[in-house]
Structure 1
Amino acid sequence: MLVFGAVTVVGTALGGLGSTVVQRLSNPVARYRQLYLGILLPFALLSYVAFRLLGLGHAVVGGGAGMIDRLLATFAELVAAGVVGLAAYAPTVPGVRGVRDIELSTGRAVVRMGRYVLALSVFATVVTAPLETGLSPLLLLAVVATLLVGVQVAAPWLIPLVRSARQPAESTVETLERRQERARLSVRDVRILDTEQEGTANVTVRGAPGYCRLFVTSTFLEAFDDETATAHLAVQAGRQDARVHARVVGGLLLALVPLFVALADIGPLWPLAGASLGLATLSLWATRRGVRAADDYAADRVGPDTVADALERYAAVHDMAPSRRRVPNPFARSPPLGNRIDRLREQAGE
C-alpha cells in the first residue's frame, strides 16, 4: 500500500506539472489531449504493471490461489491503476476549465471519469479471465475477439451505463430525423448525453448493422445550427458507409494475431512482434482513408464548404486551433482536423 500511495502522489504531481506547462503552450486544448494520451495514460498503465509485479491485488484480496481470488486480484490492480490515473487527471481539470472557459467542476469530471475507469476495469478483468483457465493462446485469441465484437454490438446499451443519457423530447426527435434524412444517416433510435458542464459537442453512432443508436451531446444540439449539425450527421453516415469503426476493431484484432501466434510458440517472438506493429500501422492507414471517405460522402450530401465550415465550427466550440501536419502520423486514427478542412476547401475550389 505504501507503493500505491507513493505512485498516486507522483501521478498527482505529474498531472499538476503537466497542466501548468500545457496552459503556457499554443493551442492548449489540443495539448491537453496529448498530455492525457502521451503521458498520463502511459503512467497509469505503467503503474498497473508495477502493481501486478508487486502482487498488490493478492495482498488486497488475501492471497488466495483460486481462480476467483486471482480474478479479484486482477480487478483490484486495475482499479488501483485507475485511481492513479484519476489522481493524475484531477489537477488538470481546473486548467481545462480555464482555457475553455467552461463551468466543469473537478468533482463532476473525476466522478464521470471514474465511471469509465470502473467499466474498463470490469471489461479488462473479463478479457483476462481466460488467461486464468489455461486456454491455449489461439483459443484465447478467439475468446478476446468474441468479447471485443460483443462489446461493439452491445455498445448502444453499455454507453448509457457509463454516461448520463436520456431519451430526447419529441420535438428534438423530429428535428434530428429531418437532419438524418438529409444526411442519409440510418439509426434505430437516439440518446442525448448530458454535457452541460463539459461543453463537448460530439456525435457518434454505435451498434451492429440492424441496430445502430445515435448518441448526440446536449452541447451538440445547443451549439450547432441546422446546416452544421446536418454536416456532422452526414460525416457519421459516411463513417457508417466506409465502416470506419469496423476498420478500427478489425485492425486491432488483426494486429493481435501475430502476438498470440508468438505466445503459442509457433514462430519467433521479435519478427512476429514486428509483424504485429506493421499490421497495426496498416490498419490505422486504412482507418484514416475511411475518415477521408466519410468526409467525401458528407461533401456529396451537403457540399464540401458546408462540411469544412462544420469542422471549423467544431474546433471553435472546443476552443482549439485545427492542427495540420505535412507528414502523416502513422499511429493516428484520423488525419489532422486542419488537413481535413484544407482538403474539403480544395474540393470546393475545384
Structure 2
Amino acid sequence: MLALQSSPLSLGPPVAVLITLVLIGSLVGAVGSAVARRLPNPVGKYRLLYGAVLFPFTLLSYGVLALLGFGPAIRALFPTGSGFLSSILTDFITFLATGFVWLVAYAPTIRGVRDVRDVEVTTSAALSKMGRYVIGLSAVLAVVIVPLQAIPSESSPLVLAVGVAAIAIIFLYASPWLFLLLRPTREPTEDVASRIATLRSRAGLDVRDVRVLDTDDEQTANSLVRGPPNYRRLFLTSTFLDLLDDKTATALLAIEAGRLDTRVFEIRVSTVIVAGIALIASLTGVGSRWLLLGLSVSVLLFGFWLSRRQIRAADEYAAERVGESALSDALNRYAGVHAIEPTRRRFPNPLSANVPLGDRIDRVSTSTDAEEIDS
C-alpha cells in the first residue's frame, strides 16, 4: 500500500520528535509574534506569519511525524485490530499531533494580535475555538486520506494525483456541510434573517441559506459563500452584522456576489489541482520532466493572474451594483474594523492569487474621481 507512514517504530523516538517540534513551534510563534507586533502594519504581518511561517512549519511537522510512524506507534498502545477504522484512527492520531504543534505555535501570537487589534478575546477562548477546528479537520482529513493509502504502490503516480484532485473537488462542493463541523454556527433570528435577505437582494447575492459565526470576541467582520451552484450557503460573522451598517454590508456582499459570478474560488482550486498534478508527474518521471515542471509553473502563474483579474472584475461588479463611492468606503471600513493598513504594490506579485487591498481601494477611488471630473 502507498502510505505516508513507515513501519511502526518504538514509541520513544516519535514522542521525542513531537516534543522537539512543540518546543521549536512555541519558540517560532513567540519570536514571530514579538517581531510582527513591532513592524508597520502589524495585523498584516501576523497574517504573513501564519501563512508563510507557522503553516509551512506545521506541514513539515506532519511529514516528520508521518515518516517516523507516530500514528502507528500510538495506536499500537490500544487493541484496535486492523482494517479501515484502525487506519482512520492511525491517521487521526498523526493529524491530531500535528494540530497540537500548530496550537502551541499559535498560542504565543494570541496576545500580540489582541494588543495590536485592541480586542478582548482571551487566550483560552481563542485556543478553544482553534482546538475545535483542529479536531474537526483532523477527523475529516483522516477519513479522506485512508482511500489514498489503499492505492497500490505499483500504480501510476498520476492515479494518486487524480485521487487527490477528486478529493479537492469533493472538499470544494461539500464545504457548506464540512464548515459546520469545524466552526460553531447558528441560524439567524427572524429579524436578522430579514435584514440579511434585504442586504442580499441589494447586493445581488443568491444563496440558499445563511449561518452566523460568533466572533464577538475576536471582532472579525467577514463573509464567505461556499457550495455547489444549486446549494450556496452564506456564512456571516456576528461582527459583520453588528459593526457594519447596511450600506457597507451591502457593498461587501456585492463583492461576494461578484466573486461567485467570476468563479474566483473555483479558479484557485483548479489552479492548485492542475499545477499539482503536473508537478507530481514531473517529480516521478512520468513524461518529460522539464516540460511538465514548466507546465506546472505556467499553470500556477496563469491561474494566479486569472484570480487577480477576476477579483478586480468582482470589484467592478460590486461598484456597478452599489456605486464606486460606497464600495471604496466599504473597503476602507473593512480595513478599519480589522486594524489593517491597506497595502499597495507598484508591480503585481506573480505568486499571489490576491490583489492588495490598497490597490483595490485606489482603483475604485480613481474611477470615482474620473466620474466626478467628467460630470
> TM-score with structure 2 length normalisation?
0.88
Q: Which moved more, 1:193-202 or 1:45-54?
A: 45-54
Corresponding residue number in structure 2 for 1:237: 257
Q: For residues 100 and 129 of structure 2, what CA distance do their matches in structure 1 show?
A: 13
Of residues 272, 276, 294, the one that matches 2:292 is 272
Matched, 1:30 2:44: yes
Q: Which amino acid aligns with 1:339?
A: D
Matched, 1:90 2:107: yes
Deviations 1:217-258 (A, max 9, x none): 100011111110100011011011101111111112211221
Matched, 1:78 2:98: no
Displacement of 1:264 after TM fit? 6.3
Corresponding residue number in structure 2 for 1:117: 134
Deviations 1:274-293 (A, max 9, x none): 42232122211111111111
Q: For residues 147 and 283 of structure 2, what CA distance do their matches in structure 1 show?
A: 14
Corresponding residue number in structure 1 for 2:329: 309
Q: For residues 222 and 10 of structure 1, what CA distance do their matches in structure 2 show?
A: 39
User: Cα RMSD between the aligned structures?
Assistant: 2.0
Displacement of 1:348 after TM fit? 1.0
Q: For residues 262 and 23 of structure 1, what CA distance do their matches in structure 2 show?
A: 41
Q: Which amino acid aligns with 2:124?
A: G
Corresponding residue number in structure 2 for 1:227: 247
Q: Which moved more, 1:271-280 or 1:206-215?
A: 271-280
3-state SS in 2 of match to 1:211: coil
Corresponding residue number in structure 1 for 2:58: 44
Unaligned runs of 5+ in 1: none
Of residues 129, 147, 150, the one that matches 1:133 is 150
Q: For residues 145 and 189 of structure 1, what CA distance do their matches in structure 2 show?
A: 28
> What is the aligned-residue identity percentage?
45
How many pairs are equivalent?
350
Q: For residues 14 and 238 of structure 1, what CA distance do their matches in structure 2 show?
A: 38
Q: Which amino acid aligns with 1:229?
A: A
**Are the equivalent residues in 2 in contact too, given 1:130–1:140 (CA < 8 A)?**
no
Q: For residues 40 and 144 of structure 1, what CA distance do their matches in structure 2 show?
A: 24
Q: For residues 202 and 296 of structure 1, what CA distance do their matches in structure 2 show?
A: 20
Displacement of 1:263 after TM fit? 6.4
Corresponding residue number in structure 2 for 1:102: 119
Deviations 1:126-163 (A, max 9, x none): 44323322353333333323322222222222212211
Alignment of 1:157-168 (within 5 A): 157-168=177-188
> TM-score with structure 1 length normalisation?
0.94
Alpha carbons of structure 1 residues 338 and 189: separation in structure 2 relative to 1, 3 Å: same
